[in-house]
Amino acid sequence: MGLFGRPGGARGGSSIRIIIGLVIAVIALISYFMRTEVNPVTGEKQRIAMTTEQEITLGLQAAPEMAAQMGGVVDTRDPQAALVRNIGKKVWQSSDAVRSPYTFEFHLLRDPESINAFALPGGQIFITRGLLDQLENEAQLAGVLGHEIGHVINRHAAEHMAKSQLGGALAAAAGVAASDERGRGLNAALIAQAVNQMMQLRYGRKDELEADDYGLRYMIQAGYDPSAMVSVMHVLAQASKGRGGPEFLATHPHPEARIKQIERFLAEKYPNGIPPDLTAGRSLQLMGGR
């Protein structure tokens, strides 16, 4: 084999793989940190993976498929669907959210079992009939929809896509750098991907608390009593005792943690109690909510 046989070549190949892996990682990090924009509503600097126009397009394209998974969208002529649309529109147009580049649309989904609400990038917001039927008044619905508006305003989906792209690139870099003829690089890549997924879950929970904070602000600006969100959390806590828990809790912090944050918010903003001009609104039953 000579002086430069297989052992030396293996070491050389390993060094090349490490260099390639480092190059991939450096390029991924540079690309991630260059994606910095200032949010026009919150003023926060964010690293994002798409423009607002791309967010809107993605949300519109994904909406039909997402809705189909939960029985489809209830016809807008339905009283419950009209209620969701009207309360959502009021929260949006009465709050700082109206300064955003997004046009929000609010949809009721047919699914009577799932306790769920979610937002797609660009302003498509959904709530299931299962969750709506658990709510008692206008303020509770406004709080749920305000929370989802908060996700869109804070561009959480775009942030997560940027983080996911970075995590995927770093996982690939780790796989290349650690690979050998025995497939050990695959194991390294899988471990790196698992770590990345755990990081995404943690950040997702942080985002949920941030959306709670913005949802409280928006419902207040629309004239609703923010303490109604405590009741919503109790609804979610009760639902979580059922089989498997509500889908709404899959990536959200436990209701007890959210109640504590809401109570801190209320104590700091209203140390002398909720002002009388903030109302729970009308009963959803009287408004056609049930």
DSSP string, 140-190: HHHHHHHHHHHHHHTTHHHHHHHHHHHHHHHHHHHHHHH--TTSHHHHHHH
Of 197, 86, 202, 218, nearest to 152 (Cα)? Answer: 218
Strands 124-128 and 105-109, by their bridges, are parallel
Low-confidence winner among 107-121, 140-154, 162-176 (lowest mean pLDDT): 162-176
Q: Tell me the per-residue pLDDT of 104-134, one tens digit each, with 9 for 90 and over.
A: 999 999 999 988 898 888 999 999 999 999 9
Residue 4 has pLDDT above 50, yes or no: no
If one compares 277 and 171, the residue with the highest pLDDT of the two is 277
DSSP 107: E
Residue 215 has pLDDT above 90, yes or no: yes
Q: How far is CA 160 from CA 153, 174, 205, in A?
A: 14, 21, 12
pTM of the model: 0.73
Of 80, 164, 188, nearest to 129 (Cα)? Answer: 80
CA–CA separation, 193 and 199 (whole Å)? 10
If one compares 249 and 222, the residue with the highest pLDDT of the two is 222
Q: What was the pLDDT predicted at 17?
A: 54
CA–CA separation, 66 and 87 (whole Å)? 22
DSSP string, 256-273: HHHHHHHHHHHHHH-TT-
Low-confidence winner among 30-34, 36-40, 266-270 (lowest mean pLDDT): 30-34
* 114: CB partners within 8 A, 6+ apart: 70, 128, 130, 131, 246, 247
If one compares 22 and 101, the residue with the highest pLDDT of the two is 101
Q: Tell me the per-residue pLDDT of 54-104, one tens digit each, with 9 for 90 and over.
A: 888 888 888 888 888 889 999 989 999 999 999 999 999 999 999 999 999
Reduced DSSP (H G I as helix, E B as strand, rest coil) percent helix, strand, coil of the chain, to 5: 60, 10, 30
If one compares 127 and 37, the residue with the highest pLDDT of the two is 127
Evaluate whether 74 touches 130 at the Cβ level (below 8 Å).
Answer: no
